[in-house]
Each structure stands twice: as C-alpha cells, then as structure tokens.
Homo-oligomer: A and B are copies of this chain.
Amino acid sequence: MKAIVLERIGDAGGLRLADIPDPVAGPGEVVVRLQAAALNHRDVFIRKGLYPGIRFPVILGSDGAGDVIATGDGVAPSLGGRSVVIDPSFDWGDDPRAQGDGFQILGLQHPGTYAEEIAVPADHVHPKPAHLTYEEAAALPLAFVTAYRALVVRAQLQKGETVLITGIGGGVAASALVLAMGIGADVFVTSGSADKIERARSLGALGGVKHTDPAWPNVFLSTFGRRPDVVIDGAGGDTFDRALDVLRSGGRLVSYGATLGRAPNVEVRRIFWKQLNVLGSTMGTRDDFSAMLDLCARLRLRPIVDTVLPLRNAAEAHARMESGSQFGKIVLKI
C-alpha cells in the first residue's frame, strides 16, 4: 500500500509518499481501508521533533475514516465492510477522570492514518455517522472528542448558556463552536484575525473580540453586555488569566492546551472570590468518543472542513496548518 512516511525530523519535506507492506489484521484487530485522514497540530509537532522516543520511519495521523476490509481472530466477521471512524485514544487506563501513564494517541508508536490502510484493535472502530461523508467523518476524531469532553463532560455546558471559545479557527476550537451551537448555547469567540471572527459569525457565533488587545475581557463585557458562563481555552499564557477575568462568578474555564505556554501572572483571588471552576481536559475516553459520535448523529452536526487535499500533498497540508490561516480541519483524501 501507499502511505506518507516521515523519514526525519525537520520541515515538511521529510514527508514522502512510499510503498510499504499492507497491514495485517492480528488477533482482535481489523484492517480499515482509509478513505480520508485529517491533520492535527500534534502531527506538526511530531515532525518537528517535539515528542520524545520517535523511531523512523513514522506514519503520522490520528484521524481516519474508511471501510473495514479484514477482521482478525476473535473479531466478529460481521464488522467486515462497515464504514467506520477510528478512536485515536489508546490505553487510556482505568480512571475516567484522567488518562494513565500508558496512554498513547494513534500516529506515533502506532502507525497512523496518512495511509491507504491501517490495522487497529476492533474496539477502536465505531460506525461512521451516516449523515457525514468520509472526509467529514475523518475530521472528527481527535478535535471533536477533545471538544466534546471539554464542553460536555467537563464544563457540562447547558442550552442557553454563554460560551466563549478562544483562538477560533483551530481544530478543537472550530469543533467546540459546532458542538456548542448544537447544544444551544450562545457562542462568542476570540481570534487574532478579524476575518476568523467574521467567519465564526457566519457560522452562527454571536460575536467576537480580537485577543491581540490585552484589555479584551473589558472589550467583551462592554461590547456584549454579559460575561461567559464557560470559556474554552487552548492557549494558556496570558490568555489564562484573562479568561478568569472575563468569566462570570461561578463560571467554568476549561483548559485543553497551552500553545502560549505558562501563565505568567494569575490573579488567584479571582478564582476563589468568583468561585470559578478551572477544569483541565485532554482527549477523551472510549465512552466520550462513542457519546460524541452519538451526539453528532442525533444533532446532525458537521465538522468544519477547511481544505481537502490528496494524500500525496501531505506536505502542502502541513504547510497550510503551519501558516495558521486555516479555519477548521485540513483533510487528506486517500
């Protein structure tokens, strides 16, 4: 089969289309013929050498959708032919509150989805929501399960509440926008880009503020006349304290990332006096993944797809992700 293999740390030139042996369904496994994969920032970070223990060649990719073409020993043969989407969380462990030390994400130790075929444990394939194309289904796994756990499991977002999503445009943020609208919340966003705020409005957000202004919490309050019940943030850094500032008393900040690094100056008094909940969240359990798919099917949610490129153009797809200009998921058609 053909796959995009990463042969070295460095620029996107290290991603090469190669012929490699077809995967085989071991005991308890299925082979999926992938129709589409999708990118995550994680893929870029791995390519740049930010993850330890990498052994080349690596097949990147955590997100994939396709059809089961082989079943191993101990797997119900009726799975054959099913259209599926793959749960990328491996070995979460026993505690639903947090992943254990053995936790892995598909596409590093375990060969990923930038490939025509993949072998995965049978309990990692879930029926593809019928209303979605393969490209859309491949845009779900990592970003949507992360957004689902953040919004539904952790924040317990309710219909009618106000949610603010920082840094709109990234995969998780765009997924959170779709999910929060599906739940019936009033959605606001921040971005460094006026275009992305406008795009979010066209998708149903009620408004946004540019987070390049350090006083954006005040701008938010004066512009919209309310404070969010929930903030969903993947930036960290200075944004962390500003999120605590903008929240209403009793509100929830879900932190799912820290692209800006450490928070340099946190007003702890805000946390206790406003009785805030700051809730860390990453990825999701198998139950979260399954519930996320059910919710997508029930509400007929569609992920936001920025671009679809052929698999062989993986390097171009990486370059687009690094440019930061995308809004939603970058998908590889296989």
Chain A interfacial positions (CB closer than 8 Å to B): 95, 97-100, 236-237, 240, 249-250, 255-258, 261-282
Cα distance A276–B278 in the bound complex, in angstroms: 8
**If A236-B269, A268-B258, A268-B262 touch, does A281 touch B277 (CB 8 Å cutoff)?**
no
Assess the A277–B275 pair: CB atoms within 8 A.
Answer: no
Assess the A240–B268 pair: CB atoms within 8 A.
Answer: yes
**If A99-B249, A249-B95, A250-B95 touch, does A266 touch B275 (CB 8 Å cutoff)?**
no
Cα distance A98–B277 in the bound complex, in angstroms: 11
Assess the B268–A255 pair: CB atoms within 8 A.
Answer: yes
Q: Write the chain B residue with the least CB distance to A244.
A: B280
Partner of A250, one of B98, B272, B273: B98
Assess the B282–A273 pair: CB atoms within 8 A.
Answer: yes
Assess the A273–B280 pair: CB atoms within 8 A.
Answer: yes
> What are 21 A-B residue pairs whose CB atoms fall within 8 Å in the complex?
A95-B250, A97-B275, A98-B249, A98-B250, A98-B274, A255-B268, A255-B271, A258-B269, A258-B272, A262-B265, A262-B268, A262-B269, A263-B265, A263-B266, A263-B268, A264-B265, A266-B266, A270-B280, A272-B280, A275-B279, A275-B282
Q: Write the chain B residue with the least CB distance to A150.
A: B272
Nearest-neighbour CB distance to chain B for A100, whole angstroms, equals: 8
Additional pairs, 10, CB under 8 Å, beyond known A97-B275, A258-B268, A278-B278: A95-B249, A99-B275, A237-B268, A256-B272, A263-B263, A264-B264, A274-B280, A275-B282, A276-B280, A277-B278
**If A266-B240, A277-B279 touch, does A272 touch B249 (CB 8 Å cutoff)?**
no
Cα distance A249–B280 in the bound complex, in angstroms: 10
Nearest-neighbour CB distance to chain B for A268, whole angstroms, equals: 4
Assess the A277–B280 pair: CB atoms within 8 A.
Answer: yes
**If A256-B272, A262-B266, A262-B268 touch, does A249 touch B97 (CB 8 Å cutoff)?**
yes
